[in-house]
A and B are shown apart, each in its own frame.
Chain A
Amino acid sequence: MENFAYVNAADVEQVPSLLSDDWTETKMIAGGTDLLGELKEYIETPKKVVNLKSIPGLDKINADASGLAIGALVTLTDIAAHPTIQHHYTVLAEAAGSVASPQIRNVGTLGGNLCQRPRCWYYRNPDIICLKKGGDTCYAVEGLNKYHAIFGGGPVYIVHPSDTAPALIALGATAKIVGPNGERTMPLEDFFVLPDVNPQRENVLEPNEVLTEVHVPQPKMGTKSTYLKVRERGSFDFALSSVAAHFEMSGGTCSKANVVLGGVAPIPWRSVEAEAALNGKRITDAVAKQAGEAAVANAEPMTDNGYKVTLTQNIVSRAAMRLA
């Protein structure tokens, strides 16, 4: 890899001043499980890398009556093993526990999981300057696209690789961002942006901003949630398709369904169609089946990824049945 300067950030407020307003100049590192690969493969060649692990206090999970506050440096292992999260925010524990491998979960952080770059094989090829890297072509369109988007694609057809993002959006989480002008907070759902808004980035962060914390409201009594993920290997693999489902239940009826898909769109993809098919219904096998069908009714598969439509339909139904 290329040489770079390495700087330890002292506190959150200092971070924006350490970062350039040019994406190519500086990068942040926490667990490094994504960045190191990008550096070694010459996908990124920053002049400076800013270490966030030196910031005290960002590795804490605070659970109280208002919900969960999870610092950006909390590891995926800590999230997956947290008893309150396992019990009340099940979808998040399951999603965090499904990431990669134990070694990666031990160092990989929540902030990194939410802000990781796409796994598209054209993007990850150092010899290809694709649309995502400032070129003018998304090579997946004419090329091999079996792992690419079936929703929300264009002009870039990557899929968002995060497992925790769909889970947190299903739980109604908000993100806290610190930048040169101070702090801002937004629903995590609004944090991610489609490629037709910005083909080169996956979220709203400016080059000198940092995601510092995620807040998750306490789920109402009687809610149920789960995360299902289909991947080719049993571990150490990204989702071909995943679903985060979070249902508010009252008397056997689903009063409010949150259904967010992973691995199928350039951002975590809220399936309003599946939610509509479930809201106000008692979840029977037939309703679950309809939810699956509704989830993929507007899918736009590419040449090689039609099977992902089938997978997505099936796991949405399966998730609904699991929560019935």
Chain B
Amino acid sequence: MSGKMTVVEGSYAVAHSVKVCRPNVISAYPITPQTHIVEDLSQFMADGKIPNCEYINVESEFSALSTLVGASATGARTYSSTSSQGLELMHEVLFNASGMRLPIVMTVVNRAVSAPISIWNDHQDSISQRDTGWIQLYAENIQEMSDMTAQSFKIAEDKDVMLPAMVCMDGFILSHVFEPVILLEQELTDEFLPTYDPEHVLDTRNPLSFGTFADPSTYTEFRYLQQKGMDVALGKIEKAAEDFKTIFGRYYGGLIEPYMAEDAEILLMAMGSVVGTIKDVIDKARSQGIKVGLIKVRTFRPFPVEVIRSAVSNAAIVVTLDKNISIGLNEGALFTEVKSCLYNSDINVPVMGFMLGHGGRDIPMSTIQMIIDKAAQAIKSGIKVESEYADLRGELL
């Protein structure tokens, strides 16, 4: 079991986690608000604190991930971090990393996408990469982010998974916050995370190829097997959380974390740091007798369909909160996914979607309270608007 809390910046805690996971190759290009993570890692490298590791400086995010694709194929444990436009620039390489079954781990410090330019937080950057074949995990606070980083290496590198993983933290809100955290101990991390030992590597003595040509007679099967890897990852994510609990004594749920959910009539669903604010609002609402609860979605890819079905089955209404929008559908991704996994099931729970906190718009408790009020109204008189912004400034339109 581990120990001592210290007050550090979120980015530092993540860089520290990466360090104790003993990466062999790090490559990244600085972009706000990810910058502090790569600065801290560069400092660790300069101080000789990450043995057997090379930090490769590059001229773009495209090159950073391309570098890691090559490095990972040789059997190296690899890490990168980026945000927003940097992640979008990686788009093409994201598919390659997944298709070649390379367990690269990347911290995505979530930031809105341009235009207009915004350095502030929402989830549009990572959500826009949902179909690239990367595992996507979302953290609520620095401790969870710190711990999830170590878990992600174990999940991604599992022989039956072999898929890259994005670990997502809210830009500024988590990357720049100072709060008490237990930094991962090296000894315990070594116990938790085995050495990366892939079955197939680039090796001149035993030549093979990655990412080669697949004609129509074989391509489909490659894609099918990527999905199989994701299916297996569901169980491995839960197992990694359990293994972590055994060694470190901390646990946040596996695929989801229910909060006051069991008897909840109104069941909120959200990802990332807003979950903390929601929990505080729920405590307040509960003290007024309102039966509201929360499902924190930790794992967005693979999407935990079965777990979510059973988690929502007793609610009177499910309400999703999304820091992203599919423009043209007017829905956030969580809303779309949750509806999709309930359809064709025997669960008939209405689902309402709210989008909020885009481009760094602050989410005060009052916004969450308003959403709960609207959900309570919808239980009585039906859903009037299926999906809408919770914090739109009508006076600007």
Does B bind A? no
Residues of chain B whose beta carbon lies under 8 Å from any beta carbon of chain A: none
Residues of chain A whose beta carbon lies under 8 Å from any beta carbon of chain B: none
